[in-house]
Chain A
Amino acid sequence: MDRYQIHTSEKLISIEAFPFPILIHDRTRIIVLNQLGRNLHGFQEGDILPEDLLVPESQEKQISFPLERIIRIKATDHFRYYKCTTDVYPFNSQECYITILFNYDVEQQQISFIDKVPIGIYETDDKGILRNVNSSVLHMFGYSNKSQMMGHPVKEFYAYPEDEDKIARLIDEKGVLEGEPVQLLRANGKPFFAKLYTTSASEGGSEQGRKGTILDVTIEEQYKRILQEVPLGFYIVEKNNNGDDIIIECNQRFAELFDFASVEDVKGISIRTLYDNADDFNRFINNLEDNHRRGEALIGGFISVQSLRGRHFTIEIWSRAYNDPKDKKIIGRVGLIRPAPEYQLNMLIKDIGIVLHPYTGMLQELGHTLSSIEETVFGGQSTHAIELERIFLEPEKKLLDRLNNLLLLKDEIGRKDALSDSAWERLKVLHDSLQNYRSRIEYPGLYPESLRGLCFEIRSILKKTGIGLPRKLVREICDDAYDIECISLRYSIRLVGERIVEIDHQTKALREYIISNAKQGNLPEECSIRELVKRAIAQQALYINSRGVDIVKKNSKYNEARIVAVKDDIIRALGSLLHNAIKYSWKRSKGRRPWIEIEITKTGEKVSVVFENYGVPIAPEEIETGAIFEIGHRGRYAGDEGRLGSGIGLADAKAVARRYGGDVRVESRPASDILKRAENPFITRVSFSLLCLETTMAVSFRKEEI
């Protein structure tokens, strides 16, 4: 641009010919301007100059002309940038100035933007020499002047100069780098962490170089390193489009806890696969969401998980959800985990052990004492609870007949005074109660104690009898009543004895359940399902004997099916289901003890152990709602004839089955279409299924072992 051309023109018309806004002015005011100058924001002759165009006093500041400036002038709703050149210009014999303005908007905005963005932007030539950097790069590296960087090889700015060769090679290979981590060097010699987003640059196809951005990630990297090094598992989960919770970040400790070889192997998997069962997972998510709504994190919850290799253990978890700022929906969470602390586990086991030890001893002592009483007082033969319906029939008939005979004597002369009126009246009431108790008492379990009360009172009244009643008849009535009291007592002793065995089982089941969920478990191994059933039966042998039931194992072609599981888990679950089947069994046919049928079946990939018993029903609504599988739930009919339900067995069995890809299904139907009431026997089938190891797999597995 030759701005001095216009010096030749003192004619105003000459400045109209130039395609730029031109102003002739003194230090503060416009004297004359061309049309383009007028168009420029409506300037007129005589207007005060915009502040940016004022010419400073030469005395105040050393000014050399031509004066180059970039100014901005407010347009209607934004600023426009102009590059201005101002020179001394004598006009009408006065010392004036001429200013030519060039539109500078686009270029200036770009430069301004690039310079001000908080991301480092740089450019190199094909020799790897820095050609341009923005202010953020200067700030990031701690330099004050671009000249301290521009013109220098980029290698100088790496903490490890050899990284530059790697970067150059990667760009050659990929064409672009997206977030390549490097360590760079600040002006003071301290390294810092950065990520490079770089691509090759060409200008007109001739000159090759690179341009890109540098992101200072020192803080993030430091946090990341801390999280990698903390002795806790750290993870970040985000929901994908399908709503699955995907692990997008974790540390090495997390990967190790779940038996993954590396962090990269964990990233991208659904975190659900690491939880032991869906119910626990859903409960955890509900708690997390509840806490999130209150603005709180979930602190220190316990949850069962499984590793890649199928190891089951319990972790303690701290987690906080985060949401989409727009719709507030939860889109992910961060969490820290650790295995359930060993010291807590030890305390737990120790506590349970301390409680269990005297408890077991005490129960054993009680059981033996009751057996001794039963043997000594009643002889060797024991009366089983399930014979309750008929054990009173004979003695009660005898007692009723004799009591009836006695009551008939009341009106005979000389007999009436043997007892008071109220005693006669009371005897009549007791007789009627004895006659009608079966229809008046809804549940047979309540017969013995009621009869004992009646009989005791009959004896008490007759003890006070005076002269006038046949002594033989009175003695026989007292003996009959006493017999019934003894049977009743014997029934109660038997019932208490069974309960002691029950409580002992429950205590042990509870201990096993707690410990199995608290400790890091054994690894799964291949095993025969039949073998596990056999061991579960052996574990329940005492109870089987105590309840007087038979176990009928049905032949099945799937008896040889094999599974992969932690044996103790399966034995415990099968034991609980068998225990239930025994506990809720009634006598099925005359002359034969109650029995449980056990069958191994297979459907698709799953092998099932099916327990079938005849006896106490399970209410349909409890099956439909899944209530029977809740910890602590005691079924509506679980207390039948004094049986205790622990509320652990079914819940634990289901959790175990699900852990190994199976489930527990329960059906309970009336044994007869005619007898549908719950007081009548039901046939209950409980099916415990597991993923079966296919025969071929099993064979190859065994070969490898060999």
Chain B
Amino acid sequence: MKQVLWVEDLARTDFGSIFGPVFASGRYDIQIAIDPTEAIVKLKEKEFAAVVIDIRLLPGNDKRWIDLYNKCGKNKALAQLGIHLAQSLLRFPDAQIILKDSEIPEWITANHIAFFSVEAWTEMEHHLLTLGITQEAFIEKGPLNKRDVLLRLIDSVTSRTSK
């Protein structure tokens, strides 16, 4: 069973209906991290075939993420910590947080990362394309999403990383 990490602060509360199909598919063992602090810890525990990230995240209890969050106006919509997390994991030159080598898993590439967030692709494409993340790995959250939206996104990512 492939391992998937979903970095989403509301995963356990607001998204049971889209989590269900992923679990029921039996193809994925899906873990949840509710903030970047927890994501960094979980990413070191095992190799994931896909890492699905929300853009609007709270910082968790790591001072670096807290400071960045505060600097960005203490507002998760403005701070966009999900983007910062991807930048840090992919060693983006302008990343606001430089992670230690030991914190970045060796296996992670832009192909492993997908975004599932309320922002529109047009709002985020500038950030994401510079990271090597394409529109196929981005889905905008909305009431018209089907229940299997997350499953499809994960399938799309894992089809790339399995090759």
Contact = CB atoms under 8 A, between A and B. Distances in A.
A220 B129 CA distance: 62
A457 B61 CA distance: 40
Contact of B20 (A440, A449, A619): A449
A226 interface: no
Contacts of A440: 23, 29
Interface stretch (B30-38, B103-111, B134-142, B152-160): B30-38
B10 A636 contact: no
Residue among B26, B29, B66 facing the most chain A CB atoms (10 A cut-off)? B26
A443 B10 contact: no
Interface string B16-50: 11011101101001011011000000000000000
B74 interface: yes
Interface residues of B, number: 25
B46 to A, nearest CB: 14
Given A453-B20, A632-B75, A633-B74, A643 B31 contact: no
A638 to B, nearest CB: 9
A454 B58 CA distance: 32
B13 interface: yes
A441 B23 contact: yes
Given A446-B11, A450-B23, 4 more contacts: A449-B20, A453-B21, A627-B74, A632-B75
B58 to A, nearest CB: 6
Contacts of A640: 13
Contacts of A442: 12, 31-32
Contact of A636 (B11, B24, B35): B35
Interface in A57-98: none
B54 interface: no
Interface of B: 9-14, 16-17, 19-21, 23-24, 26, 29, 31-32, 34-35, 58, 60-61, 66, 74-75
A492 B16 contact: yes
Contacts of A454: 23-24
Contacts of B58: 634, 636
Contact of A445 (B13, B61, B66): B13
B35 A641 contact: no
Interface stretch (A253-261, A348-356, A429-437): A429-437
Interface in A625-643: 625, 627, 630, 632-634, 636, 639-643
Contact of A448 (B14, B16, B29, B74): B16
A639 B13 contact: yes
Given A433-B26, A443-B32, A627-B74, A449 B17 contact: yes
Contacts of A429: 26
A442 B16 CA distance: 12
A621 interface: yes
Nearest to B18: A449
Contact of A457 (B19, B24, B32, B60): B24
A452 interface: yes
A451 B13 CA distance: 16
A627 B19 CA distance: 29
Contacts of A432: 26
Interface string A634-663: 101001111100000000000000000000
30 contacts: A426-B26, A429-B26, A433-B24, A441-B23, A442-B31, A442-B32, A443-B12, A445-B13, A446-B11, A446-B16, A446-B20, A446-B23, A448-B20, A449-B16, A449-B20, A450-B23, A451-B20, A452-B20, A454-B24, A456-B24, A621-B61, A625-B66, A630-B74, A632-B75, A636-B34, A636-B35, A636-B58, A636-B60, A639-B14, A642-B13
